[in-house]
Amino acid sequence: MESLRVVSEWPVGAAATAVVDARGRVLGSFGPVDDRFPLASVTKLLTSYAVLVAVEEGAVEWDQPAGPEGSTLRHLIAHASGLAFDSNDVQAAPGAKRIYSNTGFEVLADAVAAATDIPFAEYLAEAVFTPLGMTSSALGGSPAAGATSTVADLTRFAAEVLNPRLVSAELVAEATGVVFPGLRGVLPGYGLQRENDWGLGFEIRAAKSPHWTAPSASPRTFGHFGQSGTFLWFDPEAGVACATLTDRRFGDWAVAAWPPFSEGVLAELRAS
């Protein structure tokens, strides 16, 4: 795919990208796809999928209490628990506001670890990395932002999300649909959104503007980006996902570069 070569023009030291479909076919790639990069908050997608496995196995339930009083696992994974971004401060009642929270994901992972009696990094490896053959991926820090991976591994994960085998398609559909609809909140890097839609760990494009995905992407597009200059989006209407990793922190360069890049990817796919 010629559109992927645009990453070579970005003001970064290294960048790798690939597009994959639901059959697991890599439709195109560019750059060092086997090199490891820190994922930052793209980690949340991997953590969330491990939680889906734990729910499917019956180890935990969405409505079990966790976090602040009145909060549940569902609140935590959907950034609706009221917990602050990076502390245990409670800034809103559960379900009242979308407050993006790394702490919430750490509490979420601790709940899964307690229920399974397995350290969360090990559980993530056993539940997601090993069965998908993600041999270059590891969680070495916070379950909110501490994973490293490769584009090649993320294409394996993306194919799973598009065509699930580890959990039911119904559960993935729930996870990638809006949970606690209508909540206001700040989308990091893009400001206050009147409806800051989120699923069970997956950020949902919906009608958000501005946004980091392609302007013509389906409103059902979901995924996540990371402050390490990384993103993984899925457009279920196009039936594809795009994983892109770089070595430069998110900033104005990414705000300017990512949407037209993704627009070019979708345009090439539509024309093929």
Residue that is written with structure tokens 């206001």 in the block? 184
pLDDT of residue 272: 85
CB atoms within 10 A of CB 42: 26
Between the alpha carbon of residue 105 and those of residues 48, 101, 111, 146, 148, the distances in Å are 9, 7, 10, 11, 17
Q: Quick one: pLDDT band at residue 133, thresholds 50, 70, 90?
A: very high
Percent of the chain residues topping a pLDDT of 70: 100
Q: Quick one: pLDDT band at residue 98, thresholds 50, 70, 90?
A: very high
Domains in the chain: how many in total?
1
pTM metric for this prediction: 0.97
pLDDT single digits (tens) 166-204: 999 999 999 999 999 999 999 999 999 999 999 999 999
Domain coverage including residue 7? 2-271
Residue whose C-alpha is closest to residue 246's, from 2, 8, 3, 1 = 8
Collect all residues with Cβ–Cβ distance below 8 Å to 165 and sequence separation of at least 6: none
What's the CATH number where 150 sits? 3.40.710.10
